[in-house]
Amino acid sequence: MDKQTPSSSPLTALFPRDLEGFDLLAELALDLRCSWNHATDDIWRQLDPELWELTHNPWGLLQTVSRDQISTLLADSAYRTQLDELIKKKRESAKTPGWFQKNHPKSALNTVAYFSMEFMLSDALPIYSGGLGNVAGDQLKAANDLGVPVVGVGLLYQQGYFRQLIDNDGSQKAVYPYNDPGQLPVSPLRHANGEWLRIKLDLPGHPIWLRAWQVQVGRTKLYLLDSNDTANYAPFRAITSELYGGSADLRLMQELVLGIGGWRLLEALGIEPEVCHLNEGHAAFAILERARCFMHKTGLPFAAALIATRAGNVFTTHTAVEAGFDRFPPALIEQWLGKYANVELGISTNDLLALGQEAPNHLTDDFNMAYLAVRGSGAVNGVSALHGEVSRRLFAPLFPRWPLNEIPIGHVTNGVHTPSWDSASADELWTKFCGKDRWLGATDHLEKSIRAISNTELWNFRTAASQTFVTYVREHLVRQMAASGAPQTEIEEAQHLFDPKVLTLGFARRFATYKRPNLLLHDPARLLKILTNPERPVQLIMAGKAHPADLAGQALIKQWVQFIRQPQVRQHVIFLSDYDMLLSGHLVAGVDVWLNTPQRPWEASGTSGMKVLVNGAINLSELDGWWAEAYSPDIGWALGDGQEHGNDPAWDAQEAEALYDLLEQEVIPEFYQRDSNGVPVEWTTRMRESMARLTPQFSTNRVVREYTEQRYLPAAEAFKTRSADNGKVAEQIADWQQTIEQQWAGLRVDGITARQEGEQFIFAATVLLNGLAPHDVSVELYANGIDGGDEIRELMECMDVPDDKMGAHLYRLTVPERQTLSEYTLRIIPHREGFSTPLEVNHIVWEH
């Protein structure tokens, strides 16, 4: 192995190579598969039980405990046998063909590069904020489970997202602990000679050096870049300091590092992905760098290189409001990317800006990263069926004159990595009825298997979970109160709060106004009456952070904390601070009902409610995001009418009253209505149906299989076709596209006639193609659908081609009578086999 063949290695200074067996512990500790496969937990617990329970960080544990303690345990025959067996199973698992290898053994797909600003993989690696990282981390884990060849690309933050403290008056305080790489489960990527693999970005002024790291996620790898290199200009060392922090300049620099630096890292590693999956628009600069590398390889100009490479790019948008897209002033783009565009891409700065602006003549518009992602991808999707509809509206300005339902954005509804979110007892229950390998392939059989669980067994399972949860809540709350300086009497009281036999509602989200975390507080007196009912009491657990710059969100937290501190409330509501992955795992395992109250349609998908499914909790949620397609009256409860009402206080008040009604009239009575054995039969029946029908459907097992078969495999084939022979097909498409651009303005419908014969309509049209050939276009008869049905699109046949290609072409079509003649119109769109219209060329001509 020479200098140009990088490999990962742990920090050698912390690695006692002379301690026989330590390398096996390090191998386990540096593989994040142990974060959801809890077979290794006992190995770490024996090293230091207290530190293990506090951190759940095996690698940090190995760097902290004494060498003597490690040596003593490795000398213990039982411990060593356990360790050797775990290593054997781990290595066997890595070699075992997965679902992908069994079902797609001869596909064109060898590697998917998955780019994301954040990854939530383990509380031991705090480089995440919330939902976006949750999706990325869970999909990476599922790729490992299924054998889908995915590599992740992200950033290693020195501080990451903030940690939350709540002071005595209920105000949120943000703190930023340092992420010591030596304590994180990451390994530096090094050349064989020991030199650290570093990526250089030659941007204006000082170059930026990026250090490369590797995270092992089972058989899957995540590569991370950080700018905290001593060779960097001091401000550049802070580029990867905070997640979603700082100025627009810093945010732009982070996205340059992720997109351009990330793709260069893959190049340095010799990884040539057929597919690049952009998880949100933050990574869209990878589109430019991928095209640049293809230009360098083939000698093609940028336009042809983009046509070749975009076929292999997949863009997933998570944004439900236009304000959520990352935008940068044109001057900032020109400052940092002007030279890159001119020299590296061979295009003008205006051409670059046009890729991220609504229209080429809007040169003063901000540069929209999502627009760049759309224009540089061969497939675009939202993260729920409803979000697909919302996204088509958001991106409609890019496709003027196209019907909304033809805006080329589909959806793949999110899911969660079930093995990461099931409690130990839930895992035991599912293993008993569905087998240990239930998430490693198709899941069609799981629904029937879960239905075999009796009401009694389900209720015993939930009762035990409630007891465990209450114990955890008390411990967390005591630590939290002590840290905030609460009086000793209140701390002692906290050790006895909550009752495992009482119905427990949970709400844990990012505190933002559109999520309406304070909907329950609309009528505090009515809420208190619900909570303190002596015969059917209710307890509520709250958690969540507001962005440090979101003062309105912080005010919502303060309102809850002040409500809770009333003596008559304190026994019934708890706010747990510093919502992170570890706390989330306890919440979704312990609550009975999960509440979610966003303003529709601003919840793109939502994954927190999906996490409770495997643990037997039931959802009560607004008909938004995933719940809009998951809800059924026998598996949960729905809030709202399925319509959009905007930011209407009157509607919020109405929904708050409806929420109180649901709790009082349906949820609470069902929980407390018991049979002679003390089992709530209706409740456990609902619970079982929720577990059986929804858990497999809203798991990343389904999501990753769907992405693979509907996005990755077609994208890999398309890229293979376009990139063959040094991009010959892409070059031909570029020439054709240029011809379309030049001739399109002269196309028009010269005349159309229609008549009825019996139950048929006969249409004839003369069309001026302005020098284009009939095979360059599709001439269609179009009519809107009736009562929300599918639109009518019928391809007309060219019956006569004039000698002069500038002359009129005659088109004809006969269709059955379905609508009135006046409802039909004619349109012309570009057409080429293997080319996506309107995603890649969005011209359209209508008859009138």
pLDDT digits (tens, 9 = 90+) for 54-86: 888 999 999 999 999 999 999 999 999 999 999
Q: What percent of the chain has pLDDT over 70?
A: 98
Say which range, 42-46, 89-93, 646-650, 802-806, has the weakest mean pLDDT: 802-806
Distance between alpha carbon 242 and the CA centroid of its chain, in Å? 20
Q: Are 619 and 596 in contact (CB under 8 A)?
A: yes
Nearest-CA neighbor of 242 among 231, 229, 224, 226? 226
Shared domain check, 183 and 318: yes
Q: Are 562 and 170 in contact (CB under 8 A)?
A: yes
State the amino acid at position 541 in one-letter form: I
Q: Are 720 and 274 in contact (CB under 8 A)?
A: yes
Residue tagged 């029946």 (tokens): 685
The angle, 0 to 180 degrees and rounded to 10, between the axes of the packed helices 248-256 and 330-339 is: 30
Residue 303 in this model has a pLDDT that exceeds 90 = yes
* Residue 331 forms part of a structural domain: no
Res 414: pLDDT: 98
pLDDT band at 385 (very low <50, low <70, confident <90, very high): very high
Residue 314 CB neighbours (<10 A)? 24
Res 700: pLDDT: 97
pLDDT band at 653 (very low <50, low <70, confident <90, very high): very high
What's the whole-number mean pLDDT along residues 512-528? 95
Handedness of CA 786, 789, 791, 792 (dihedral sign): negative
Residue 731 CA to residue 840 CA, distance in Å, equals 14
Residue 47 in this model has a pLDDT that exceeds 50 = yes
What would the pLDDT profile of 431-481 be if each residue is shown by its tens digit? 999 999 999 999 999 999 999 999 999 999 999 999 999 999 999 999 998
Strand locations in 366-462 (E): 367-368, 379-382, 410-411
Q: Which two tokens stand for residue 843?
A: 């011209």
* Residue 740 forms part of a structural domain: no
Residue 642 CA to residue 639 CA, distance in Å, equals 8
Res 51: pLDDT: 92
Shared domain check, 465 and 508: yes
- Containing 271, the helix (H) or strand (E) segment is none
Phi first, then psi: give them for residue 38, nearest 5 degrees.
-80, 15
Task: Count how many residues are written for the chain.
Answer: 848
Residue 384 CA to residue 390 CA, distance in Å, equals 10
Residue 355 CA to residue 611 CA, distance in Å, equals 38
Question: 43 CB contacts (<8 Å, ≥6 apart)?
Answer: 25, 28, 58, 79, 82, 83, 86
pLDDT band at 1 (very low <50, low <70, confident <90, very high): very low
Give the torsion through C-alpha atoms of 585, 588, 589, 595, to 10 deg.
Answer: 160
Residue 352 in this model has a pLDDT that exceeds 90 = yes
Question: 529 CB contacts (<8 Å, ≥6 apart)?
Answer: none
- Residue 278 CA: distances (Å) to CA of 9, 378, 777: 28, 11, 31
Residue 426 CA to residue 690 CA, distance in Å, equals 14
Shared domain check, 373 and 231: yes
* Sheet strand arrangement including 797-800: 748-757, 760-768, 808-816, 797-800
Residue 760 CA to residue 815 CA, distance in Å, equals 6
* Residue 362 forms part of a structural domain: no
pLDDT band at 12 (very low <50, low <70, confident <90, very high): very low
Residue 371 CA to residue 801 CA, distance in Å, equals 39
Question: What phi-psi label fits residue 643: left (phi over 0), alpha (psi between -120 and 50 degrees) or beta?
Answer: beta
Strand partners, 208: 201
What would the pLDDT profile of 709-722 be if each residue is shown by its tens digit? 999 999 999 999 99
Residue 327 CB neighbours (<10 A)? 19
b/e code 807-830 from CB counts within 10 Å (16+ = b): ebbbbebebeeeeeeeebebbbbb
Residue 2 in this model has a pLDDT that exceeds 70 = no
What would the pLDDT profile of 590-630 be if each residue is shown by its tens digit? 999 999 999 999 999 999 999 999 999 999 999 999 999 99
Q: Are 117 and 590 in contact (CB under 8 A)?
A: no
Shared domain check, 829 and 786: yes
* Residue 190 forms part of a structural domain: yes
Res 13: pLDDT: 39
DSSP-derived letter for residue 161 is S
Residue 601 CB neighbours (<10 A)? 22
* Residue 623 forms part of a structural domain: yes
Res 528: pLDDT: 97
Q: Are 485 and 166 in contact (CB under 8 A)?
A: no
What's the whole-number mean pLDDT along residues 757-770? 94
Res 753: pLDDT: 93
pLDDT band at 698 (very low <50, low <70, confident <90, very high): very high
* Residue 388 forms part of a structural domain: yes
Shared domain check, 712 and 625: no
Distance between alpha carbon 552 and the CA centroid of its chain, in Å? 25
Q: Are 64 and 29 in contact (CB under 8 A)?
A: no
- Residue 512 CA: distances (Å) to CA of 282, 317, 575, 834: 21, 19, 16, 43
Nearest-CA neighbor of 690 among 462, 478, 494? 462
State the amino acid at position 156 in one-letter form: L
Residue 5 in this model has a pLDDT that exceeds 70 = no
Give the torsion through C-alpha atoms of 703, 451, 633, 788, to 10 deg.
Answer: 50
Residue 529 CA to residue 408 CA, distance in Å, equals 50
pLDDT band at 8 (very low <50, low <70, confident <90, very high): low
Shared domain check, 131 and 49: no
What's the whole-number mean pLDDT along residues 244-253? 90
Shared domain check, 383 and 272: yes
Shared domain check, 291 and 263: yes
In total, how many domains does the chain have? 4
Phi first, then psi: give them for residue 205, nearest 5 degrees.
80, -130
For the chain, the average pLDDT equals 93
Domain of 467, CATH number, reads 3.40.50.2000
State the amino acid at position 169 in one-letter form: D
Res 79: pLDDT: 95
Domain of 785, CATH number, reads 2.60.40
Q: What residue numbers bound the domain in which 179 lies?
A: 109-164+172-325+368-394+708-723
Q: Which two tokens stand for residue 698?
A: 């809203």
Shared domain check, 648 and 718: no
Pairing of strands 150-155, 220-226: parallel
The angle, 0 to 180 degrees and rounded to 10, between the axes of the packed helices 524-531 and 649-662 is: 10
* Residue 425 forms part of a structural domain: no
Res 359: pLDDT: 87
Res 10: pLDDT: 46
pLDDT band at 7 (very low <50, low <70, confident <90, very high): low
Instruction: For the chain, state the CA radius of gyration.
Output: 29
Shared domain check, 312 and 180: yes
Q: Which two tokens stand for residue 249?
A: 């300049």
- Residue 480 CA: distances (Å) to CA of 210, 475, 485, 575: 37, 9, 9, 10
Strand partners, 172: 166
Shared domain check, 82 and 120: no
* Residue 739 forms part of a structural domain: no
Residue 603 CA to residue 540 CA, distance in Å, equals 22
Nearest-CA neighbor of 62 among 50, 70, 74? 70
Residue 16 in this model has a pLDDT that exceeds 80 = no
DSSP-derived letter for residue 242 is B
Question: 21 CB contacts (<8 Å, ≥6 apart)?
Answer: 74, 80, 83
Res 6: pLDDT: 67
Residue 511 CA to residue 553 CA, distance in Å, equals 5
What would the pLDDT profile of 172-199 be if each residue is shown by its tens digit? 999 988 988 989 999 999 988 889 999 9
Shared domain check, 46 and 17: yes
pTM for the predicted model, two decimal places: 0.95
What would the pLDDT profile of 540-577 be if each residue is shown by its tens digit? 999 999 999 999 999 999 999 999 999 999 999 999 99
